[in-house]
Amino acid sequence: MLKVIYDLNEWVEIRKEAIRENKLIGFVPTMGALHLGHRALIERSRRENDIVVVSIFVNPTQFNDANDLKKYPKTYDDDLEMLQECNVDYLIFPNYENMYPDNYHYKIIEDDFSTKLCGASRPGHFDGVLTVVMKLLNIIKPTCAYFGEKDYQQYKLIAGMVKAFFMDVEIVPCKTVRAEGGLALSSRNKLLTKDELKIAPLFNKFLSSNLSIPEIKMELEKNGFKIDYIEEINNRRFGAVFLGKVRLIDNVEI
């Protein structure tokens, strides 16, 4: 039976009992608008742990654009239905005051990889991501936390943070879940129009092709995409594009 927790102190007491019983805790942090990619993370956590915890918190500190935050999709009722179907034990649903009693005066900053790719075009984004994930991991204190490789830069930064601060949690990467045609599943896909959804799979098609970066950019632009970046780092090709008003990201091994 899914239990929704609004008061973080309530979770602290629940976790004390879980520790006494030596139970494994799996954690999937989300911003809601759940899709099959989230479901894959949750189902893996369910297979590997005694207790499954999911959080929903649309974290304002990782948005460098107020309009982007405002239009971020919210599907709470549908999210609850999925969590119940997946036999999630606890949903952590905090508000800003719960998460930021310091009003974001204290933050986690990484000064290398976070300045590249998405970090270059979204100043402060990864400061917000790392800070909120640090807070959530300190609150939940899970055995394992699960992150999708669609946000590969985010996953690597979080794994690096956990290692740098000697945090007692395993960060588990999970393969990107894709729709038919190759489009990486994302909450932002809900903001695409029907016509844009037909075009969107071309992003992955060209990103994973044998074309050069200039050729990929040219093909994407011909098909209506606006390029943020296409770059190759450590045998992986990363891309971010705009389709209409929606920003899409993806990455593939090369």
Structure tokens at 59: 């974290």
Instruction: Give the helix, strand, coil percentages of the chain, each rounded to 5.
Output: 45, 20, 35
Q: How far apart are alpha carbons 178 and 45 in whole angstroms?
A: 19
Q: What is the pLDDT of residues 136-178, one digit of tens each?
A: 999 999 999 999 999 999 999 999 999 999 999 999 999 999 9
Q: How far apart are alpha carbons 56 and 35 in whole angstroms?
A: 13
Which of 174, 197, 229 is where one domain is finished?
A: 174
Cβ-contact 103, 143 below 8 angstroms? no
At residue 183 the predicted structure's pLDDT band, cuts being 50, 70 and 90, is very high
Q: How far apart are alpha carbons 115 and 133 in whole angstroms?
A: 18
Q: What is the pLDDT of residues 32-48, one digit of tens each?
A: 999 999 999 999 999 99
Q: What is the pLDDT of residue 78?
A: 97
180 within some domain: no
Rg (CA), the chain: 18
Which of 149, 174, 199 is where one domain is finished?
A: 174
Beta strands in 136-213 (DSSP E): 144-148, 170-174
Cα angle: 187, vertex 214, 209; to 5 degrees: 60
If residue 230 lies in a helix (H) or strand (E), which one and from where to where? strand 226-233
Q: What is the pLDDT of residues 46-86, one digit of tens each?
A: 999 999 999 999 999 999 989 999 999 999 999 999 999 99
Section 214-236 average pLDDT: 98
Q: What is the pLDDT of residues 79-131, one digit of tens each?
A: 999 999 999 999 999 999 999 999 999 999 999 999 999 999 999 999 999 99
DSSP 186: -
Same domain, yes or no, for 110 and 229?
no
Residue percentage of the chain with pLDDT more than 70: 100
How many CB atoms are closer than 10 A to CB 241?
24
pTM: 0.96
At residue 179 the predicted structure's pLDDT band, cuts being 50, 70 and 90, is very high
Structural domains of the chain, count: 2
Is 38 assigned a catalytic role? Answer: yes
Domain extent for 195: 187-253
Contacts with 6 (C-beta within 8 Å, 6 or more apart), sequence order = 93, 94, 95, 98
Q: Which of 35, 38, 105, 125 is catalytic?
A: 38
Same domain, yes or no, for 22 and 111?
yes
Q: What is the pLDDT of residue 54?
A: 98
CATH number at residue 139: 3.40.50.620
179 within some domain: no
181 within some domain: no
Burial of 212 (0-12, 13-18, 19+ CB in 10 A): exposed
100 within some domain: yes
